[in-house]
């Protein structure tokens, strides 16, 4: 009987271990920009105007400006729409945090994400822009397909952030 309980306990533990589900993922991208923090913040400060500097976004529309609770709708150039909600906006600290309201697995291989974008002064008088996000893979089941697993989610978020930061750098450093 003791052996039977040991087997049952092992099977319960093994089943629980195999059924853990998705783990939170994170991505952090940083870029140095040869422009003052105020100049860079002037470009990114409008939560709804991300399409003016992010090359993957064809159009962005927002409600309620930069107030917590504002919503922005992003139409992506490759197709698809993302809807995001502004959680925190800190103009003096040059940062804001937001989260996806309505995920779109065709646009990004994630089922949920929250992110923070911040502009900081760099030692050389320029700026450092940090974009940090936490997210879950697109398929939250135990055996996700390759295009919706942790690696796909990581790649999707990193590519989106890198493209945005490159677009921001190009716009901020452009000579009039």
pLDDT per position as a tens digit, 10-43: 444 444 444 566 789 999 999 999 999 999 999 9
Give the least confident one: 3-17, 38-52, 124-138, 153-167.
Answer: 3-17
Mean pLDDT of the chain: 89
Residue 108 CA to its chain's centroid (Å): 9
Q: Give the confidence band of 8 by pLDDT, cuts at 50, 70, 90.
A: very low
pTM for this entry: 0.86
Q: Give the confidence band of 175 by pLDDT, cuts at 50, 70, 90.
A: confident
| pLDDT > 70? residue 7 | no
Q: In terms of DSSP bridges, do strands 95-102 and 110-121 run parallel, antiparallel, or are they unpaired?
A: antiparallel
| pLDDT > 70? residue 1 | no
Give the pLDDT confidence of 90-125 residue by residue, as tens digits. 999 999 999 999 889 988 999 999 999 999 999 999
Domain annotation for the chain: domains and CATH numbers: 25-44+86-173 (3.30.530.20)
CA distance 48 to 74: 9
- What mean pLDDT do residues 63-85 have? 95
**Is 137 in contact with 145 (CB distance < 8 Å)?**
no
The DSSP 8-state label assigned to residue 66 in this structure reads T
């Amino acid at each position: 009987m003791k052996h039977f309980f040991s087997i049952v306990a092992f099977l319960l533990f093994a089943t629980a271990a195999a059924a853990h589900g998705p783990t939170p993922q994170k991505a952090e991208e940083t870029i140095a920009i040869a422009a003052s923090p105020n100049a860079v913040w002037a470009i990114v400060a409008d939560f709804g105007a991300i399409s003016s500097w992010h090359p993957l976004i064809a159009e962005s529309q927002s409600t309620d400006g930069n107030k917590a609770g504002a919503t922005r709708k992003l139409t992506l150039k490759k197709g698809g729409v993302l809807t995001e909600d502004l959680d925190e906006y800190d103009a003096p600290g040059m940062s804001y945090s937001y989260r996806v309201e309505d995920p779109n697995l065709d646009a990004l291989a994630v089922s949920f994400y929250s992110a923070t974008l911040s502009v900081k002064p760099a030692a050389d008088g320029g700026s450092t822009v940090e974009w940090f996000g936490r997210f879950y893979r697109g398929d939250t089941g135990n055996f996700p397909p390759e295009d919706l697993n942790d690696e796909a989610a990581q790649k999707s978020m990193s590519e989106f952030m890198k493209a945005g930061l490159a677009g921001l750098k190009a716009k901020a450093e452009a000579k009039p």
